[in-house]
Structure 1
């Protein structure tokens, strides 16, 4: 297939911009504490050797959620392919740190190369992947076409593009067809996304519904050195968590908390904004709502009389889930798309969410039908749901059990997805 004009323009532009992008990206990583050797992985310079034995299967994900979502799949494929080696790439220091603590056997992590000829060429020359599996919406045109040119088999799994991304691809049909043609298999999260991929000129015969790999993720890690002092500070206070909140949602959550305090005066809200750089803004909202709060980034613990604990740090969500079995997921009270309910379930907590859950539409539809999740569209409904779960342990236990049953049903499908990938990517000889 001939490269469309827009692709050729993109390649030319990246060749001009790569010096500036390389400087910016490596500087950003260095500011976040990444050693210089590892920061240069962005330029395609590997920091680890490639093992000589077995085919190498490369997984590429964007950030924390996507990276963690494929670890169970890598583990299962590793059990089926005992001679294979695995590489997982991502783009953020947080994802690198969390993945490094949970790498499956025979797996290494690297930062993904920038989408330009030099970095991608160096990366591919070193790692020589037999297969490349991309996750969700990480569709870098040059990386995809150069990988395909090596002869590597390729798949897109857990495919999910936002409405904005779909509209953008729809305006570039020739480029979309050229990019999506690299994949031997495209597995989407649901039927609607499968049809959307076909509408965006993905090869219809290679598109199929898979499963949401985030349902396969292991529980988020928790740190005893963080949990122990928090538990001492909290003592026997009842606790609920509002996780991954976005701008505008904190006010609604705090209104619900104010109502709850009337019946539960010792209740503690652990408020976890999606973006920790909003910490000062959120602290101001908390204070203007009449609450005093402790702030995690300052090393503070919630004291008696403080009704809110502002957990404004990255990579610690597993700690806060471990402190409560009632979790409200933000990004859902406004049209943002919602966040991952599976992480809540795996922490053995009841799931609450607002109504705007486009990113997990089928998941929440199934979970609410079975009682595994509850939708709370406003402060009043949220206060009512949290109050019910606080006061009625049988209802709380029933919600948690329904959620566990739902996730267990999904996990039974993991082997079939792994088998399909092995077959479609022609990796069967690694089972010997």
Structure 2
């Protein structure tokens, strides 16, 4: 495809976003004063880097939208630095992703927020970064960014690619815009065959697509060591903890209903609730308290000595903590590692499910609702080895928890199957790196 001028759909998009950017100029002008680090990046004032000289390894711009994408890119970044010596700069969309990336990715030279997808803003950022390669993690199709990168003869690829059925429907609705964009990509490296078919349906030539697996599987093995979250909550190793990760609105009430009924049979049962969005933490705490449960937040426990826990009436419970709310960034993996059972958020709310590989890596039996579009292949495989139990309502959750709390052997067998499934998978980050090298992208 010639890039002398943009296709009609892309031309219209670029015109609209430029007009919109100028129309809302008071917003980003105020942003420059109140949150300069964020808004300088948003308008393309990213770090100004020197051009690479002949013989130097490539400079790679990786975009990982939020915490999940940063985690998915971590092992790949480590391997790229160690084996190829490339210089890496990383952008994120969210503040949470930015914080986690800065704290955990020592191999990255520069961090910034993704510039707005406005033609001259993106062009300014590319001139300042001077990268040769752009890698987009998962499903980050920014039309102006891809177009401007290809105009500069950059290699552009998607890694750990996925497109859910809902996402595919949205992209196809705007096919006039996205089909020209995906045809510009040099490679699309996807998690599974289902995602490969979806990208083909979007218009990506099949010869540019390869299945390399999910890089989110490339986590560290479960460590032996101090149980920090349990200690903070005052829970002993004999207590049985259900960790519900990345929960969505409505799921916490269903979980608490099943948890309370199961707890009547097993008083040692405890619950960790980790909402997908931290801004919902106070609401989640109120939901749990409405069931008469003693609650605490992780941030509160870290701030100082534990205060008496209270239920929805404001009365002190007089006992220990029943429910721990994770209202902090980056602690969900630790929570899984210190728990006994996992629930996958987004599977009861119709959102398609979130990361199922983290609890599998921790060797936990897993509960999940029927909505698993985003993680269907892994869930099916875990079901086949009896590591995952499908639950549709609070009654199903109650039954599953009773079965798993009554038998430590049952928990061990199902958790062992989850861990074995995780360990048997190839290292997706290595396969991704090999393909990028073979394709001449790195």
Task: Give TM-score scaled by structure 2 length.
Answer: 0.85
Deviation string, structure 1 residues 261-309 (Cα, Å, up to 9, x no partner): 2222242212222223233433333233333423445445667254323
Q: 1:177 Cα deviation (Å)? A: 2.4
- Correspondence for 1:195: 197
- CA 420–319 in structure 1, closer or farther in 2 if over 3 Å, else same: closer
Q: Structure 2 matches for 1:143-222, cutoff 5 A? A: 143-218=145-220
- CA 315–426 in structure 1, closer or farther in 2 if over 3 Å, else same: closer
Residue 263 of structure 1 aligns to a residue whose secondary structure is coil
Q: Which moved more, 1:93-102 or 1:40-49?
A: 40-49
Q: Structure 2 matches for 1:220-235, cutoff 5 A? A: 227=229, 230-232=232-234
* Conserved? CA contact 1:219–1:318, under 8 Å: no
Residue 264 of structure 2 aligns to a residue whose secondary structure is helix
| Alpha-carbon separation, structure 1, partners of 2:343 and 2:287 | 18
Q: Which runs of 5+ in 1 are unaligned?
A: 428-432
Q: 1:243 Cα deviation (Å)? A: 2.0
| Alpha-carbon separation, structure 2, partners of 1:188 and 1:392 | 38
* Conserved? CA contact 2:13–2:177, under 8 Å: no
| Alpha-carbon separation, structure 1, partners of 2:203 and 2:58 | 31
- Correspondence for 1:368: 383
Q: 1:5 Cα deviation (Å)? A: 2.4
- Correspondence for 1:276: 278
- Correspondence for 1:256: 258
- CA 240–206 in structure 1, closer or farther in 2 if over 3 Å, else same: same
Q: 1:331 Cα deviation (Å)? A: 0.9
- Correspondence for 1:71: 74
Deviation string, structure 1 residues 159-206 (Cα, Å, up to 9, x no partner): 222333322322333322210111111122222221222222222321
Q: 1:207 Cα deviation (Å)? A: 2.2
Q: 1:413 Cα deviation (Å)? A: 4.4
Residue 114 of structure 1 aligns to a residue whose secondary structure is coil
* Conserved? CA contact 1:71–1:104, under 8 Å: no
Q: Structure 2 matches for 1:7-26, cutoff 5 A? A: 7-19=10-22, 24=27
| Alpha-carbon separation, structure 2, partners of 1:73 and 1:162 | 23
Q: 1:356 Cα deviation (Å)? A: 1.1
| Alpha-carbon separation, structure 1, partners of 2:437 and 2:64 | 19
Q: 1:116 Cα deviation (Å)? A: 1.1
| Alpha-carbon separation, structure 2, partners of 1:267 and 1:394 | 16
- Correspondence for 1:340: 355
| Alpha-carbon separation, structure 2, partners of 1:65 and 1:153 | 24
- CA 167–426 in structure 1, closer or farther in 2 if over 3 Å, else same: closer
* Conserved? CA contact 2:364–2:419, under 8 Å: no
- Correspondence for 1:325: 340
Task: Give TM-score scaled by structure 1 length.
Answer: 0.87
Q: Which runs of 5+ in 2 are unaligned?
A: 310-317
* Conserved? CA contact 1:136–1:156, under 8 Å: yes
- Correspondence for 1:85: 87
* RMSD of equivalent CA atoms: 3.0
* Conserved? CA contact 1:216–1:410, under 8 Å: no
* Conserved? CA contact 1:268–1:308, under 8 Å: yes
Residue 70 of structure 1 aligns to a residue whose secondary structure is helix
| Alpha-carbon separation, structure 1, partners of 2:326 and 2:11 | 46
- CA 255–38 in structure 1, closer or farther in 2 if over 3 Å, else same: closer
The answer to whether the aligner puts 1:61 opposite 2:64 as a matched pair is yes
| Alpha-carbon separation, structure 1, partners of 2:298 and 2:33 | 24
Q: 1:225 Cα deviation (Å)? A: 11
- CA 22–263 in structure 1, closer or farther in 2 if over 3 Å, else same: farther
* Conserved? CA contact 2:222–2:337, under 8 Å: no
- Correspondence for 2:429: 414
Residue 91 of structure 2 aligns to a residue whose secondary structure is strand
The answer to whether the aligner puts 1:391 opposite 2:395 as a matched pair is no
The answer to whether the aligner puts 1:309 opposite 2:324 as a matched pair is yes
